[in-house]
Amino acid sequence: MEKFSRMKQKSRPEIRIAVLLIAMLSVSAMSIQGQEYVEFDGYLSDMQSVYKIPDLNWLWENNLHNRLNFHFYPVNWLTGSIQVRNRFITGNTTVKFPGYAEGIQADKGFVDLSFAASGRLNDHSGYIAYSNIDRLWLQFTVGSFEAKIGRQRINWGQTFVWNPNDLFNSYTYFEVDYPERPGSDAVRLQYYPGMTSSIELAAKIDSAEKVTAAAYFRTNALAYDFQFLGGIYNGADLILGTGWSGNLWKIAFRGELSYFRDMANFHDTTGYLITSAGLDYTFSNSLCFRTELLYSAFARDLDITNFLQFYAGDLDVKTLGFTEWAFFFNVSYLFTPLINGGMAAIIYPEWKGFYIGPNLEASITNNMDLSFIFQFFSAEFEVNSITSRENNTLGFLRLKWNF
C-alpha cells in the first residue's frame, strides 16, 4: 500500500543531491573542528486533532512532530544553519481529505528538499511520513554588510495576523503547529548604514521557477520605524509597498500597505491594493488587547464556496484576504507564571461569518508545555445561487518538549 510522493519530481535531481551533500559535509566538518563551533536544539511534540467538517462527520489525526536545528560558526565572518522538520501523521484525515497527503508533502522551493511516503493503515485511516529541510543557508558578514544564501525566512511584515509586505514567506494565521514558518530558496543582501536603518536586496525562485525580487529600505523618524519596498512579485506583478510601527501614546500602532500592478496588462488595469493596520496594548498585569483590520482588493476575484478552500488552500500574499474586509480581535492574559490563555476572533462581513479561537497553554516543566487550541468557523457561502451557512469545528491538544 505504500507509495512515495511523485507530485513534485523535478528535472533538477543533481541540484538536490549536491545541496544535501554540501549540507552533510558542512555539519560534519564543523563538528570535527570542535563543539564550540556548533549549536544544536529542537523539539518533539505530539498533537491530537479532531475536526467536524460538513459531510465528513468527525475526523481525527495524530501528528508526531520533530524539529532539528543545527547552527555552526566556523569563523567570525561565516555562519550557517541546517534545520529539518519531520512529521509522522496518522488518522482518517489522510483518507477522507482529497489531496491531503499531496498538500502536506509539497515543497514550494526551487530545490525539492522534502522526502515523503504515504499509505493506508486500514480501511478507515492512513499515514503520512514527511521530512523537509526548511532552512539551509550560509551567511557572510563583513562590517555592516551581510549576505545570506540558501533556504531562509525573509520576514518584512509588521502586523500580527496579515502581512501584505511579506512577499517571500506568506503564511496562514490558522496554522497551529509551525511557529518557524516556511522558508524560501533565496539570496538576501543587507547593509546597515546606521543604528536605525537598513537597506536590503532579496530574490527568490520557487518550484514553478517564478522569481520574486525586491529592494527594501527601513529607517526611523518621528519615533516610528518606516519601511519602503518595491520589486517584482512571482514574475508577474510590479509591487510597491510601505509599512510602519510605533506608538499612539502608549498604544502600539503598526501597519502595512502593498500595491500590485500586472506587468502583462500594465496599461489596462488599475492594480490591486492590500493593506492591514493594527493596535495593541498590554496592561501592567499582563492583560493584552490586540485588534487588526485587513482590506484586500484581490478578494473580489476569489470564488470561495466552502471552508476548506481558504483553510487548507495554497496561500500567498494575494490570498491573505478571503473577503474584501476582515476584522481581528484578540485578548490574552498570563493567569499565573505557568499558565497563559487567550481568545481570538475574526469577523468576515461579506460572508456574515466569524472565527472564534480560544487557547490555553500550561508550562509543565522548564522545557515541556501542554497546549489546547480550539477553532470554530461559521459563514454563509453561495453555491449555484443557493446560500447556506457552513459551520466547522477544530480542536488540538499538544504536548511539546524542547531540547
List pLDDT tens digits, range 40-65.
Answer: 999 999 999 999 988 777 899 999 99
Residue type, 386: I
List pLDDT tens digits, range 80-139.
999 999 999 999 988 887 777 777 878 889 999 998 898 999 988 999 999 999 999 999
**CA-to-CA separations, 327 to 41, 349, 352, 387, in angstroms, rounded:** 37, 9, 12, 22
In the chain, the amino acid numbered 163 is N
Residues of the chain scoring pLDDT < 70: 1-36, 313
Q: According to the model, what pLDDT value does residue 17 have?
A: 52
H or E stretch including 396? strand 386-402
Q: What's the whole-model pTM score?
A: 0.88
Close Cβ partners of 84 (under 8 Å, ≥ 6 residues apart): 67, 68, 131, 132, 133, 134
Nearest to 322 by CA among 189, 161, 197: 161
Residue 1: exposed, middle, or buried by beta-carbon count in 10 A (0-12, 13-18, 19+)?
A: exposed
CA distance 69 to 42: 6
Q: What is the pLDDT of residue 21?
A: 52
Query: How many whole angstroms separate alpha carbon 229 and alpha carbon 271?
Result: 17
Kindly state the cell numbers that stand for 113.
Answer: 528538499
**What phi and psi values does residue 35 have, to the nearest 5 degrees?**
-65, -25
Half-sphere CA count of 359, side-chain side, radius 13 A: 19
